[in-house]
Amino acid sequence: MSRYLYLVRHGEQQDAEHGLPDGPLSPRGVRQATLLAERLGGVPFDGAWTSPLQRAQETARIMTARMPAIEPEPSALLMDCIPSGPTSDMPHAFESFFGGVTEEEIEAGEAQMADAVSEWLTPSREDRHELLITHNFVIAWFVREVFGAAPWRWMGVNQANAGLTIIRVRSAKPPVLITHNDLGHLPTELRTGLPVEQPY
């Protein structure tokens, strides 16, 4: 039996370039979410979960409006977070990222992602398709977990707005990454959210 996780980053946020912590989707973000919903319309989803933040919840509403069989449920396990802190084996180039991050934020993120992995990266007794609408760092942590990579390796794993990552969780074998940051449903002008240049 397989459990399929469809990990989606929220659509582009209105005025995201101004550094606002949360807010509604931009018109472009609405279009991104609509096109992704059209792409996934034929998937037999068993459930949908979303980060409680506004940009993710609005993305979830747009997507599930086209999927009448499911209702998105907010989950604190999908909240935007810092999944882990600096480690001794982490390249020095990444250190500046943690300049404004507190120990409390790191501890909260580590605990959250440990619970999220326990919740969703465990095998199911039946075939399931689950939609998770969340944030860049959360998706990066799931991808890192699939590969069993060092804790710091979530850094530099980026997903665009309304990008699609699919993970297959199997009963007797390790989980596998089917696709990461698939943007085939978005025309070039709607592909946003990836750093032009890595800040670290």
User: Which phi-psi region, left, alpha or beta, contains residue 183 (left: φ > 0; alpha: ψ -120 to 50)?
Assistant: alpha
Q: Could you tell me if residue 195 is inside a domain? A: no
> Which tens digit of pLDDT belongs to each residue from 112-147?
999 999 999 999 889 999 999 999 999 999 999 999
Residue 198 lies in a domain: no
From residue 156, give the alpha-carbon distance in Å to each of 27, 123, 140, 200. 27, 28, 8, 9
pLDDT of residue 78: 98
Closest Cα to residue 78, out of 55, 102, 110, 49? 49
Q: Which of 13-27, 60-74, 150-164 has the lowest mean pLDDT?
A: 13-27
Q: What is the pLDDT of residues 88-97, one digit of tens each?
A: 999 999 999 9
Cα dihedral sign for 160, 150, 113, 143? positive
| 196: in domain | no
CATH code for position 21? 3.40.50.1240
pLDDT tens-place string over residues 30-89 = 999 999 999 999 999 999 999 999 999 999 999 999 888 899 999 999 999 999 999 999
Is there a domain that residue 67 lies in? Answer: yes
What is the number of structural domains in the chain?
1
Q: For residue 160, is pLDDT > 70?
A: yes
| pTM, rounded to two decimals | 0.94
Flag the least confident range among 46-50, 108-112, 152-156, 193-197.
193-197
Range of the structural domain that residue 81 is part of: 2-190
The dihedral built from the CA positions of residue 34, 37, 41 and 47, taken in this order, carries a sign that is negative
Q: 180 in a domain, yes or no?
A: yes
Is 154 contained in some domain? yes
Average of per-residue pLDDT across 158-173: 95
The confidence band for 200, taking pLDDT boundaries of 50, 70 and 90, is: very low
Residue 11, in any domain of the structure:
yes
Residue 197 inside a domain? The answer is: no
CA 174 to CA 161: how far, in whole Å? 28
Answer left, alpha or beta for residue 148, where phi above 0 means left and psi between -120 and 50 means alpha: left
Q: To 5 degrees, how large is the angle CA 115–CA 121–CA 122? A: 100
Parallel, antiparallel, or unpaired: how do β-strands 128-134 and 164-170 relate? unpaired
- How confident is the model at residue 17, as a pLDDT? 57
Closest among 104, 157, 119 to 149, alpha carbons compared: 157
Where is mean pLDDT largest: 1-5, 7-11, 67-71?
Answer: 7-11
